[in-house]
Structure formats: structure tokens, C-alpha cells
Amino acid sequence: MRTKPTLSWTPKGEPLPRTTELHEVVRVVAEGDVVVLSGAGLSTESGIPDYRGTEGSLRRHSPMTYQEFVTSEEGRRRYWARSHLGWRLIARARPNAGHRAVSALRASGFVSGVITQNVDGLHQSAGTGEVIELHGSLDRVVCLDCRQFSDRELLDRRLRAANPGFTADATQVNPDGDVDLPDDVVREFRLVSCDACGSGVLKPDVVFFGENVPPVRVGECYRMVDEARALLVLGSSLTVMSGLRFVRHAAKSGKPVVIVNKGRTRGDAHAQVRVDLPLGQALTELAQRLA
């Protein structure tokens, strides 16, 4: 069963009071065994916009859905043409102060694991171990026919060979790894098939809107949350259920939930405290105070 894409939500009730003080965050994290759940807001300081913030990509960009990708060759052409350029911008992005602070907290033993909704690999680039990529990674490609996985760098070389001279101005990348391109540019783009089976449809190893997260991966996340003492949410509006369910699960289990995010989130009602600060600033201060 495929879920209907959730692109927005309507806040209900009184908002949870927000603070710019980190005292409660420091207290919770200082006790250790904290699982981090991170979203696109953590990567904005690396030049990758989020979906729903004030400069969020959903204001100008409709992300690819699973249904369109698997049923429409034109949809796949549009995605791969745009992603062919966008992936290079993602690949050049570097971890920011927030990613480095999470890595430091992990190395110091305060953070026991990280679940990320991001597909950019920046947690790992910052040196964080034991990261569960809830929505997959843009660095991998999977064939929908033979299920063979391959490296995105290999696909990039094949697409370059199939589209010599393909260039376009691409200065802004979306969180799902593509860029905006004119239709006439997209129409000229040539797709390639799976190199392993010769005819299969290639898809980035990411969970598109309307696609379910693999059950085994969901189970790993629940296990990580169950074994933790608290949940720290960083840079996520928690609009989609794939992340929100872990917040609800932690709160129902009586575990402290702390949210650091710019703007209101769908999980605020389950949080013990809501901090409204830039992620790089807040996490750097948190790591310094716990050092």
C-alpha cells in the first residue's frame, strides 16, 4: 500500500511556548542515551534548502512522487535531468556546525544514535557513526527490476556519456536533490537503463513522497528509540508521518522529547521543550556546554 503524499499540515490548538534558552536541552542531553532525529533544517546552513521553512523549496517546487516516477517515462526523464545537475551540488555540500556538533555529541557518548530524514550524507561526512538514513541516500541507485544497487558516481558517468554537452544553469538545489529546469532542456535529456540487467528502470535509493519507508528500516528506528532515554529532534517540521511516528512513540513511552527547530512543528504537542534557534548556533553551544 502506498501512502498519500503529505506536503503540508494545518496547526491546531495553541502553539507550544518556544524558548531561545538551552538550559533544558543541556539537562536532558547531559544524562546521555539520546537519539537524534534530524530533518532538512539541519542542512540549510550547508546550502541545501529545507522543504517548508520561510525559504522552503515547496514554495516553488513540486517534489517527485513515487507514483509518477514508476508510471511515467516523462516523469523519470524530468527527474533524472534535474537530478543529474542537482546531485553534483549536493555532492559538493559540506557539513556545517550543526552536523559537527552532533558528531561531537556522539563521540562524547551523549548521543547513542542518529536517525536522519535527510538524503545528503552530511552526518556521515561530519564523522557521525551509526546513522539510520530513514529516507535513503542520493549516493546510491537501485534498479526497480533486478533490485541491483550501484554507486551514484557510476550512474553520473553513464549519464554524462549519454548526454554530451548537457549543461544548464543550476545554482539552487532542492532537498530531494534536483533543480528547476525549463521543459525544453528536459526534453533533450536521454535516460539510461540498468547496467546489470540491461533494461531495468533506475531509481535513486531514496523514499519519494507517496512511497513507504522499508519496514525493516522502520523497525530499526523503533528499536533505537526504545533503547534510548530521550529523543532530540533537530530541524524537522515533522509534517510527514515517517518521522512524526517516532516522536509520538517516544512520548507515549514516557521519554523526554526535545525539539530544536525554526518554526512550529507537527510534534510540538509531544515535546517537553521547544527551542527556536538556528541549528548551528544552538548545537555548537550545546556541545560546548557539555564538553
Return the closest-CA partner of residue 259 out of 240, 239, 276. 276
Mean predicted confidence (pLDDT) in 243-247: 97
Residue 234 has what pLDDT? 98
261 is known to lie in a ligand binding site: yes
Lowest mean per-residue pLDDT among 90-94, 103-107, 286-290? 90-94
CB 159 within 8 A of CB 192: yes
CB 138 within 8 A of CB 90: yes
- In the three-class reduction of DSSP (H, G, I as helix; E, B as strand; rest coil), residue 131 is classed as strand
Lowest mean per-residue pLDDT among 17-21, 57-61, 78-82, 104-108? 57-61
pTM: 0.89
143 is known to lie in a ligand binding site: yes
Angle between helices 73-92 and 152-162 (to 10 degrees): 120
- Structural domains of the chain, ranges and CATH numbers in brackets: 16-48+95-135+212-291 (3.40.50.1220), 57-92+138-206 (no CATH)
State the catalytic residue, choosing from 84, 99, 123, 135. 135
Chain-wide mean pLDDT for the chain?
Answer: 89
Residue 57 has what pLDDT? 44
Residue 59: Cβ-neighbour burial (10 angstroms; 0-12, 13-18, 19+): exposed
Question: Residue 90: which region, alpha, beta or left (left: phi > 0; alpha: psi -120 to 50)?
Answer: alpha
227 is known to lie in a ligand binding site: no
119 is known to lie in a ligand binding site: yes
Q: What is the pLDDT of residues 94-131, one digit of tens each?
A: 999 999 999 999 999 999 999 999 999 999 999 998 89
pLDDT over 90 at 179, yes or no:
no
Per the annotation, the verdict on 135 as an active-site residue is yes
